[in-house]
Amino acid sequence: MTRAVPDPRKTLDPDRVAQWLACHPDFFVGREGLLQQLKVPHPEARGTTSLLERLVHDLRSRAEQAEWRLEQLLESARHNEAQYRRTRELVLALLEAEDNDALGQALATQLAERFHTPAVALWCPASLTDAEPLPPQAPRQVLDDHAGQRLAALLDGRNSRCTRLTPTDWKRLLPHVPAPDKAGSCALSRLALGEPLGYLVLASHDPDHFRASMDTLFTEYVGEVVARLLVRQAPASS
């Protein structure tokens, strides 16, 4: 009576086979014909394909993924470089401003041209404008109690924030720029350097331009530069 030979696929533990092959990477040396006979599931269609074809497919897929990741890194680097250049030109223009009015106007011009921010307001307390011979020019505004309370309410206890801006708030906080028919959006930053120096408002008629989920690092940085320049100008205007 002939004894039946057990099917290896039913008697061998696949995990143990995989472990054994991992420990013996030279198993297929001299057994190249076996490699050509192996069939594995096709990654994109029904049926099977040879192991070598599958390896080629996997290597090509990995190469494409690596190329995509590299392109993403390059695109990020290009964006960061462009952002750095725009920020550099902004700061240099602010440093060249001879007085607070020129500072506000340079800020509005640079943000509009380089960062697509169509509306800017720089609210400063009366203590920074009392010694000036003329009233401040837009985008500078004299900070009164009503504007200060509304700006503080919009910040909601934070130093900077992106939020929606109703037409009513727009008319009050950016009186020199026509208000939108519907809600716009803004990025707010509190200006302080040892003492309160006012508020910086960057606004857009687009309600989604400054979203609540956006990071405010750039707005805070610009606000810190502006605050230091306001303090620098203060002795000359007093």
Q: 188: domain CATH number?
A: 3.30.450.40
With a pLDDT cut of 90, the percent of the chain lying above it is 62
Confidence of residue 66 (pLDDT cuts 50, 70, 90): very high
Same domain, 150 and 57: no
Clarify whether residues 204 and 116 are in a common domain: yes
Residues spanned by the domain of 73: 33-95
Is 224 found in the same domain as 180? yes
Q: Is the pLDDT of residue 152 over 90?
A: yes
Is 198 a residue whose pLDDT tops 60? yes
Model pLDDT, residue 182: 93
123 and 230, same domain (yes or no): yes
What is the pLDDT confidence band of residue 5, given thresholds at 50, 70 and 90?
A: low
Q: Averaged over 84-98, what is the pLDDT?
A: 95
Which tens digit of pLDDT belongs to each residue from 10-46? 667 878 877 887 888 787 777 767 766 766 676 666 6
According to the model, what pLDDT value does residue 236 have? 47
Q: Do 70 and 179 fall within a single domain?
A: no
Q: What is the pLDDT of residue 22?
A: 84
Q: Mean of the per-residue pLDDT values for the chain?
A: 86
Q: Give the up-direction half-sphere exposure of residue 153: CA atoms within 13 A in the CB hemisphere.
A: 10
Contact 40, 48 (CB under 8 A): yes
Per the listing, tokens 């707010």 go with 188
Picking from 70, 95, 120, the residue at the C-terminal end of a domain is: 95
Q: Of 47, 75, 95, which residue sits at a domain end?
A: 95
Does residue 182 belong to any structural domain of this protein?
yes
Does residue 183 fall inside a structural domain?
A: yes
Domain membership of residue 13 (yes or no) is no
pLDDT for 238 equals 41
Q: What's the pLDDT score for residue 76?
A: 92
Looking up tokens 């006979």, which residue turns up?
Answer: 37
One domain for residues 87 and 164: no
Backbone φ, ψ for residue 123 (5° rounding): -90, 120
Do 60 and 124 share a domain, yes or no? no
Q: What angle do CA 231, 212, 119 make, to 5 degrees?
A: 50
Q: State how many domains the chain has.
A: 2
Bigger pLDDT: 194 vs 65: 65
Same domain membership, residue 220 and residue 118 = yes
Same domain for 53 and 103, yes or no, is no
Say yes or no to pLDDT of 145 above 60. Answer: yes
Assess whether 74 and 108 both reside in one domain: no
pLDDT at 167: 96
Q: Kindly report the pTM of this predicted structure.
A: 0.71
Residue 151: inside a domain, yes or no? yes
**103 plus 220 within the same structural domain:** yes
User: What is the Cα–Cα distance from 202 to 119, expressed in whole angstroms?
Assistant: 6
Q: Residue 195: what pLDDT? A: 84
Q: What is the mean pLDDT of residues 84-105?
A: 94
Same structural domain, 230 and 168: yes
Percentage of the chain lying above the pLDDT 70 cut: 84
Asked if residue 211 has pLDDT above 90, the reply is yes
- pLDDT at residue 172, as a whole number: 96
Among 95, 116, 141, the domain boundary falls at: 95
